[in-house]
A and B are shown apart, each in its own frame.
Chain A
Amino acid sequence: MLELKSISKYYNPGTVNETCLFDQFSMKIGDEEFVSVVGSNGSGKTSMLNIICGSIPIEQGQIILDDKDISNLKEYKRQQIIGRVYQNPAMGTCPNMTILENMSLADNKGKPFNLKLGTNKKRIDFYRESLRELNLGLEDKLEVKVGSLSGGQRQAMALLMSTLTSIRFLILDEHTAALDPKTAEIIMELTDKIVKEKRLTTIMVTHNLRYAAEYGNRLIMMHQGEAIVDKAGKDKTEIKMESILEKFNQISIECGN
């Protein structure tokens, strides 16, 4: 279980531009929950992910993972048990390394980076099988540099790579936002399949209200640093696109968007 305990986060503290994003924000995320987070720009969705991963510091509060306080743990140490996919497909892969080398890098997560050979030849068949499940033909391009793949192919690889080793939970940061509608659909279905297969605890930030309603078993709508909608289980499945959209329009009007 992941718990955010009375988190306070200010931007530009101590200056005239000081803005308060979170004031005593708390949230609990249970094991094997697939949480979709929606909200307007500046509502604190991505900041919440950054706070969990340790990419940005917090002024107050605690982040507790399985009864352990990880608030003071460095970003790279927290990432040892977290998988993360970014909005920008370029963030999840190394463009100048081949597909095989990228897969090997991801497979070595959590292991010491010593003088053993970077690519374990015995694992190549496994990589090929994992890539085949993406249905993008990448299994035949192991020696191709990732930089020459399309955004969708790279995002599919980023998703696969972030879940290749066993992780405590998965963070998806608007991971379909930079893709065309059809590719976004493919990546979203793939995400759902991987999350269900590996029974991953997942937090997905998205601007696509339909994905938020359709996928996952909990829905949160953020507004000005607070969760104004939080539906899980049966409540979530009964929720209609229209009602989310209505609520979303309401908060957007308040902000003057």
Chain B
Amino acid sequence: MLNSILIQGFIFAIMSLGVYITYKILDFPDLSVDGTFPLGAAITAILIVKGVNPYITLLVSFLGGTIAGMITGIIHVKLKVRDLLAGIIMMTALYSINLRIAGKANVAFTTKDTIFTKSIFRELLRGVSGKTITLIVLVMIVLLLKIVIDFYLKTRAGYLLRAVGDNKTLVTTLGKDIGLVKIIGLSLANGLAALAGCIYAQEERYFDISMGTGMVVIGLASVIIGINVFERFDKIKPTTAVIAGTILYKACWALAIKKGLSANDLKLVTAVLFLIILVLTQEKKRKVNKNA
């Protein structure tokens, strides 16, 4: 059980990192993630069935996600549609696009190679169980992404991204286009969501059209748990907090299922957990305000 919590946690952490960029840094509640997560899975399923190297699917899925994110950004910035609505439009459109890409609502590829079965670790670590190897591959990917994102946030482009979420007026005063920064942020975030979908599909070895439902909620809940729990520790970077938050969220989720809830209740558990987290973190903020 611990193994599967960690595996799920690390996969969804990739998406949470994306949600962290839009929700926490850019202050943009982006619903398109519900569509870009299965987009990554659909692209992966179809490529793997066609016999493409599974490592290439990582790149193609990420690119697919960035394009979808860019379109959400353009709808919001250039066509001046409100942030939530721009996400809903993209999410709805992606449902059909995902079906077109995959050709049907379910694609299974149980006998094909994935990044986990083709891994070089399989050669190096003979005799180690499949789940452990999956975990090792995931830790490597998540760690690499975390380092890249941490670096990006320290560059000039990263400073500007943070400034847009913090104080839009200042960005305009600096002579920079807020819209362009938003589009770049949304592209990155949705690229990560699609990458998470790609890896999830390879781990589960199937694509399902409805696998995106509730992804935004999982991402938001993970980000909020992570930031709230680890905020007090100065040394912990927000990206680490988000990854830990996702694992924590998945643990709570697994616990709820173990306490006797059936698979039909999964989305209900997702929603109720999110509500509990929102209410608990509100409580904390109120206390701080009273003390101030």
Contact = CB atoms under 8 A, between A and B. Distances in A.
Tell me the dominant secondary structure on chain B's binding face: helix
Given A76-B177, A79-B173, A108 B166 contact: no
Contacts of B174: 79, 105-106, 108-109
Interface stretch (A21-29, A36-44, A94-102, A232-240): A94-102
A101 B163 CA distance: 10
Interface in A66-120: 74-77, 79-81, 83-84, 86, 90-97, 101, 104-106, 108-119
B163 A97 contact: yes
Nearest to A111: B156
B172 A94 contact: no
Contacts of B177: 74, 76
B155 A108 contact: no
B166 A95 contact: yes
Interface string B140-170: 0000000000001011111110110011011
A162 interface: yes
Contact of A115 (B155, B166, B167, B170): B155
A195 B192 CA distance: 47
Contacts of A101: 159, 162
B273 interface: no
Contact of B157 (A76, A109, A114, A119): A114
Nearest to B165: A96
B156 A91 contact: no
B158 A118 contact: yes
A109 B175 contact: yes
11 contacts: A79-B175, A90-B167, A97-B159, A97-B162, A104-B159, A105-B159, A113-B157, A113-B159, A114-B156, A115-B155, A115-B156
Residue in B157, B162, B175 with the greatest tally of chain A CB atoms within 10 Å: B175
Contacts of A80: 175
Contacts of B160: 105, 113
B170 to A, nearest CB: 6
Nearest to A95: B166
Contacts of B169: 86, 91-92
A76 B175 contact: yes
A115 B176 CA distance: 16
Interface of B: 152, 154-160, 162-163, 166-167, 169-178
A48 B156 CA distance: 33
Interface residues of A, number: 35
A72 to B, nearest CB: 16
B259 to A, nearest CB: 38
Contact of A75 (B158, B163, B166, B172): B172
A91 B167 contact: yes
A102 to B, nearest CB: 9
B261 to A, nearest CB: 38
Nearest to A74: B177
B159 A118 contact: yes
A117 B156 contact: yes
A116 B156 contact: yes
Given A75-B172, A114-B157, 16 more contacts: A74-B177, A76-B176, A76-B178, A83-B173, A84-B173, A86-B169, A91-B167, A95-B167, A97-B159, A105-B163, A106-B174, A113-B160, A117-B154, A118-B154, A118-B155, A118-B158
B159 A77 contact: no
A76 B168 CA distance: 11
Contacts of B158: 118
Contact of B159 (A74, A108, A162): A108
A146 to B, nearest CB: 9
B166 A116 contact: no
Contacts of A104: 159
A115 B151 CA distance: 9
B175 A77 contact: yes
Interface string A112-143: 11111111000000000000000000000000
Contacts of A91: 167, 169-170
A32 B155 CA distance: 35
Contacts of A105: 159-160, 163, 170, 174
Contacts of B157: 113-115
